[in-house]
Amino acid sequence: MASPSATADVVAPRSSGSDNYLTHDKGVLSWIFTLDHKRIGVMYLCSVLTAFALGGFFALLVRTELLTPGHTIMDHDTYNQMFTLHGAIMVFLVIIPGIPAALGNIIMPLQLGAKDVAFPRMNLASYHLWIVGALFMLTSLAINAVDTGWTFYTPYSTTTSTAVVPAAFGAFILGFSSIFTGLNFIVTMHKMRPPGMTWFRLPLFCWALYSTALIQVLATPVIGITLLMMIIERTVHIGIFDPTLGGDPVLFQHFFWFYSHPAVYIMIVPAFGVIGEIIPVFSRKRIFGYKFIAISSLAIAFLGFLVWGHHMFVSGQSVLAGTIFSAITFLIAIPTAIKVFNWITTMYKGVIHLDTPMLYALAFLWVFTIGGLTGVFLAVMSVDVHLHDTYFVVAHFHYVMMGGAITAFMGGLHYWWPKFTGKMYPEKAGRFGAALVFIGLNVTFFPQFILGSRGMPRRYYNYLPEFQSLHVLSTLGAYTLGIGFILTAIYLFKSLKTGKTSPANPWGGATLEWQCSSPPPYYNFHKAPVVSAGPYDGYENLMYDEAIGGYIPRKSSTST
């Protein structure tokens, strides 16, 4: 205890220049059973990206089927299975763990200045549970893929002949994986901060992960028990959700959305964190309204628990309840707008560098604002009665989930890619990929707003001929998206072998992760950092060094 020299003794000799977390140990087992947060993060990243490819593949199949009314490439039962798998994989396997467990696992302890997360074993268990959960989902795919939609609504989920139980049990296990990550992050940020790292010196990414972790810990157990009840209902017929036995199927919806609405913020709040990192760095300007952005994440996390009923305006819940849920939903627009305004104000009079991460961040601002504001439309009860279960809803949440969460994930992936791998990705290809993704997602989902407002119901296999042109446009957009992501995958893979070696600080970031080498040493820091400034202070103390292609401290400056 209180032995700084001991700390230094342990850290210093094992992490010399060439030794980093990727090369520290060799062999597959040294990865599978690693306790290092960075390696666990990398494994999460690979797994999440694989699941993303699979979920994307199902999305393309669904969009291809919708090119024509009626049969195009698959029958209606297969279609139901495809969109269910797309939704379940993207939600449970990709977006929920995407930013926190993959990017956050690697970056958060580095930004904090900690040697690891508080519970490394639990961190590894979280990843192993993810794998087990994913296997259960694939089991359902192999037996007879679930066709309930990712929401598992009763009574259909308790009566359909498809393999609901493995898929639901997979989601149950993935819930524990998510809880473990969240619990770990909360304790890490409370107890592992080095001297000088006060709460208001935490990078905004950490604030966002902290808020997310609170939701993960408080909401996920409820979906766990709900899915368990649904499984028992299906197998033993205990009758809680079954109206023929005196139960209430709407109770399932309440339970489900008590988790799944907060889960929407599990998906989007970390994205806010990534954007909060990228925008100041690529504007070379201190973030505007740091405290407001930090606290608004907590406000969103809190309010997110009180709005689940806005998914159920047409389920027969009372008008009074609907009004309250509707009003609280409007409130969420406030902290969200605070964030967007502060990011834009940060850019104002900044020196904006349009590198790939910044392109993704700008795309995020554009797309997320559309997604967020259409959410306010849907929160109005009278409008929702018209738009409920139409493509308008599909377009809205894809603008938020795909346009918000995935765009930010891609931005973060490019931003931290040099830190993860020690290699630079090709900038031109990156910008081209970002442009393709941005165009693709708008072409895919904007027509769906029009489709929905004209009455095209979601999840339908067949549709009226007048909707076809917009469906074709949407499908073409989906193909563009697919090409954009394939291109991105190709150049990122290639950069692992042929990429330029990355300097410690390629972008001129001031947060702590840029102070350690790329890739970081096994124990993160040669010397435990002492923090004396905020995360976005001191851009003026950094200067670009042509020789290494990155930023180094100005020689005249002695601080930080």
Judged by the rule CB under 8 A, the positions of this chain that interact with other proteins are 1-7, 9-10, 114-120, 122, 179, 183-184, 186-188, 190-192, 195-196, 217-222, 224-226, 229, 232, 236-240, 245-248, 251, 255, 523, 527-528, 530
Cβ-based nearer residue to other proteins, 458 or 526: 526
Cβ-based nearer residue to other proteins, 100 or 224: 224
- Distance between CA 217 and CA 180 in Å, rounded? 8
- Distance between CA 402 and CA 406 in Å, rounded? 5
Q: How far is the CB of 266 from other proteins (least distance, A)?
A: 14
- Distance between CA 346 and CA 289 in Å, rounded? 8
Cβ-based nearer residue to other proteins, 14 or 353: 14
| 319 three-class SS | helix
- Distance between CA 60 and CA 63 in Å, rounded? 5
Q: How far is the CB of 417 from other proteins (least distance, A)?
A: 25
Cβ-based nearer residue to other proteins, 240 or 443: 240
Spatial CA neighbour of 407 closest among 343, 352, 342, 363: 363
Cβ-based nearer residue to other proteins, 85 or 179: 179
Q: How far is the CB of 346 from other proteins (least distance, A)?
A: 31
Cβ-based nearer residue to other proteins, 135 or 225: 225
Q: How far is the CB of 253 from other proteins (least distance, A)?
A: 13
550-553 and 542-545 beta bridge pairing? antiparallel
In angstroms, what CA-CA distances link 353 with 131, 186, 282, 362, 417?
38, 33, 5, 11, 17
In angstroms, what CA-CA distances link 205 with 97, 309, 407?
15, 29, 15
Identify the helix (H) or strand (E) that includes residue 271.
helix 249-283
Token couple for 224: 């766990």
Q: How far is the CB of 190 from other proteins (least distance, A)?
A: 6
Q: How far is the CB of 474 from other proteins (least distance, A)?
A: 38
Cβ-based nearer residue to other proteins, 58 or 127: 127
291 class by beta-carbon count within 10 Å (0-12 exposed, 13-18 middle, 19+ buried): exposed
Q: How far is the CB of 220 from other proteins (least distance, A)?
A: 7
The answer to whether 44 and 425 are in contact (CB under 8 A) is no
Q: How far is the CB of 519 from other proteins (least distance, A)?
A: 18
Cβ-based nearer residue to other proteins, 233 or 355: 233
The answer to whether 65 and 74 are in contact (CB under 8 A) is yes
Angle of the 120-144 helix axis to the 76-88 helix axis, nearest 10: 180
Cβ-based nearer residue to other proteins, 251 or 487: 251
The answer to whether 225 and 233 are in contact (CB under 8 A) is no
Type of residue numbered 285: K
- Positive or negative CA dihedral for 266, 271, 276, 277? positive
551 forms bridges with which residues in the sheet? 544
The answer to whether 175 and 220 are in contact (CB under 8 A) is yes
Q: How far is the CB of 244 from other proteins (least distance, A)?
A: 9
Q: How far is the CB of 322 from other proteins (least distance, A)?
A: 19
Cβ-based nearer residue to other proteins, 2 or 28: 2
